Amino acid sequence: MVVANRLASRRSCPGKMQVFRASLQKWYRHNGRKFPWRYPSATTYRLVVSELLLQRTRAETVATFYYKFEAQYPSWNRLARAKTKELELFLKPVGLWKRRAATLVALAKQLKARQGRFPRQRELIEALPGVGQYIANAILLLVHGQPEPLLDVNMARVLERYFGPRKLVDIRYDPYLQELARKVVQGPNPKITNWAILDLAATVCRRRLPLCDSCPLQSGCRYGKTR
């Protein structure tokens, strides 16, 4: 871990990190995507449910479906009373309906008992139904305002192309990438930094045919310099 942290520090010196963060936030102000869960009025319920629906599903798909979902299940209490089979059928348009239905109902029952309040300690958050590393990070970031990364394969792609590749296949256990992602979001507006990286990954820094000439990070990007 110590070696990985030193490597991350060398690859992501403060100046490079600040340029990365500032360039992304400026780009996001003009190019960020608009989704229901990003509005200032978004409730804790909307923020967390959206993240659960977004797993392995395109954000645009969830966005077109979300208002219909919230109209049917507007709160943790209403969701806790849902019949699993009924919810499965309702969730079919966004896929993975069996797993999502079971997770949402189980989590809703826990939140109903907790009066809609999430714990602040990571270990207690990860003990909730359906909550792994990514969702725990999302709750800490979006609900409690802590600077945690929404680290998935898309964010990983942007970070690795700019700062350098990870060693392990599974991003959850790669110490370099985990440390790097946390450093990236430690500056002002960590929520915006996260969303900016995800939007850049979706629209510019794509897995195939990236639009490097349109990228705000091009001048400092290791990957861009090789193209």
Question: Could you write out the DSSP letters of every residue in 74-141?
Answer: -SHHHHHT--HHHHHHHHGGGS-HHHHHHHHHHHHHHHHHTTTPPPSSHHHHTTSTT--HHHHHHHHH
71 CB burial (10 A radius; 0-12, 13-18, 19+) = exposed
Query: Average pLDDT, stretch 118-140?
Result: 97
Task: Give residue 12's pLDDT.
Answer: 58
**What global pTM score does this model have?**
0.91
What lies within 8 Å, CB to CB, of 204 at 6+ separation is 210, 211, 214, 215
pLDDT band for position 227 (50/70/90)?
Answer: confident
Domains by residue range for the chain, with CATH: 2-31+147-225 (1.10.1670.10), 36-142 (1.10.340.30)
pLDDT mean across residues, the chain: 93
Q: Is 63 a residue whose pLDDT tops 60?
A: yes
Question: What percent of the chain is modeled with pLDDT above 90?
Answer: 87
Query: Tens of pLDDT along 139-175?
Result: 999 999 999 999 999 999 999 999 999 999 999 999 9
Residue among 125, 136, 142 at smallest CA distance from 190: 142
Query: Tens of pLDDT along 168-225?
Result: 999 999 999 999 999 999 989 999 999 999 999 999 999 999 999 999 999 999 998 8
